Structure 1
Amino acid sequence: MKFPTLTAAALALSLGAAPATAQDTLLNVSYDIARELFEALNPAFAAHWEETTGRTVTIDMSHGGSSRQARAILEGLPADVVTFNQETDIDVLAEGGLLPAEWRDLLPNNASPYYSLPAFLVREGNPLNIQDWDDLAREDVAPIFPNPKTSGNARYTYLAAYAYALANNGDDHAVAQEFVRDIFSSVPVFDTGGRAATQTFAERNIGDVLVTFEAETGGIAAEYADQGLERVTPSQSLFAAFPVAVVAENAERNGSTEVANAYLEWLYSAEAQQILGEYFYRLTDETVAAEFADSQADVELVTVDDIFGGWDAIRTEHLADGAILDQVFVNQ
Structure 2
Amino acid sequence: MASAAAVVLAGLAGAAPAQAQTTLLNVSYDPTRELYRQINEVFQAKWKKDTGEDVVVRTSHGGSGGQANKVIEGLEADVVTLGIASDIDLIARETGLIPKDWREKLPNHGLPYTSTVVFVVRKGNPKNIRNWDDLVRDDVKIITPNPKTSAGGRWNFLSAWGFVLDHGGDDAKAREFVTKFYKNVPVLDPGARGSTISFAQRDLGDVLPAWENEAHLILSEFGAEKFDIVVPPFSISAEPPVALVVGNVDKKGTRKAAEAYLDFLYSPEAQTIIAKNWYRPSRPETVAAGGVPEFQKLKLFRAEDKFGDWATIQKRFFGESSVFDEISKAIAQK
Compute the TM-score of the two structures, normalised by the length of structure 2.
Answer: 0.90
CA distance in 2, matches of 1:311, 1:93: 13
Identity in percent: 43
CA distance in 1, matches of 2:131, 2:288: 26
CA distance in 2, matches of 1:203, 1:288: 37
What secondary structure sits across from 2:27 in the alignment? Answer: strand
Please tell me whether the aligned partners of residues 146 and 197 of structure 1 are also in contact (alpha carbons under 8 angstroms). Answer: yes
**Residue number among 180, 190, 194 corresponding to 1:196 in the alignment:** 194
Please tell me whether the aligned partners of residues 116 and 236 of structure 2 are also in contact (alpha carbons under 8 angstroms). Answer: yes
Equivalent in the alignment of 2:56: 58
Please tell me whether the aligned partners of residues 146 and 153 of structure 1 are also in contact (alpha carbons under 8 angstroms). Answer: yes
Equivalent in the alignment of 1:178: 176
Q: How does 1:238-317 map to 2 (within 5 A)?
A: 238-288=236-286, 291=289, 295-317=294-316
Equivalent in the alignment of 1:141: 140
Unmatched segments (≥5 aa) in structure 1: 1-18
Code of the residue aligned with 1:206 in structure 2: it is L
Q: Give deviations 1:7-65, integer Å, cap 9, x for gaps.
A: xxxxxxxxxxxx97542110110001211111111100101111111111111111111
The alpha-carbon distance between structure 1 residues 267 and 214, as it changes in their structure 2 partners (threshold 3 A), is: same
CA distance in 1, matches of 2:301, 2:315: 20
Equivalent in the alignment of 1:6: none
Q: How does 1:151-166 map to 2 (within 5 A)?
A: 151-166=150-165
What secondary structure sits across from 1:277 in the alignment? Answer: helix
- Further displaced range: 78-87 or 223-232: 223-232
CA distance in 2, matches of 1:21, 1:228: 50
Code of the residue aligned with 2:137 in structure 1: it is R
Please report how far the alpha carbon of residue 249 of structure 1 lies from its aligned counterpart in structure 2 after TM superposition. 0.7
What secondary structure sits across from 1:79 in the alignment? Answer: coil
Please tell me whether the aligned partners of residues 178 and 328 of structure 1 are also in contact (alpha carbons under 8 angstroms). Answer: no
Code of the residue aligned with 2:309 in structure 1: it is G
Equivalent in the alignment of 2:120: 121
Please tell me whether the aligned partners of residues 126 and 230 of structure 1 are also in contact (alpha carbons under 8 angstroms). Answer: yes
Q: Give deviations 1:125-171, integer Å, cap 9, x for gaps.
A: 11111111001101111011111111011000000110001111x24
Please tell me whether the aligned partners of residues 282 and 289 of structure 1 are also in contact (alpha carbons under 8 angstroms). Answer: no
**Residue number among 81, 84, 87 corresponding to 1:83 in the alignment:** 81
Please tell me whether the aligned partners of residues 271 and 284 of structure 2 are also in contact (alpha carbons under 8 angstroms). Answer: no
Unmatched segments (≥5 aa) in structure 2: 1-16
Please report how far the alpha carbon of residue 320 of structure 1 lies from its aligned counterpart in structure 2 after TM superposition. 2.0
Q: Give deviations 1:217-242, integer Å, cap 9, x for gaps.
A: 11111111164311111111111112
Please tell me whether the aligned partners of residues 275 and 292 of structure 2 are also in contact (alpha carbons under 8 angstroms). Answer: no
CA distance in 2, matches of 1:40, 1:155: 26
Equivalent in the alignment of 2:5: none
When Rg is computed on C-alpha atoms for both structures, the one with the higher figure is 2
Q: What number of residue pairs does the alignment pair up?
A: 313
CA distance in 2, matches of 1:329, 1:110: 33
Please report how far the alpha carbon of residue 286 of structure 1 lies from its aligned counterpart in structure 2 after TM superposition. 2.8
Code of the residue aligned with 2:319 in structure 1: it is A
CA distance in 1, matches of 2:321, 2:107: 35
What secondary structure sits across from 1:33 in the alignment? Answer: helix
Equivalent in the alignment of 1:93: 91
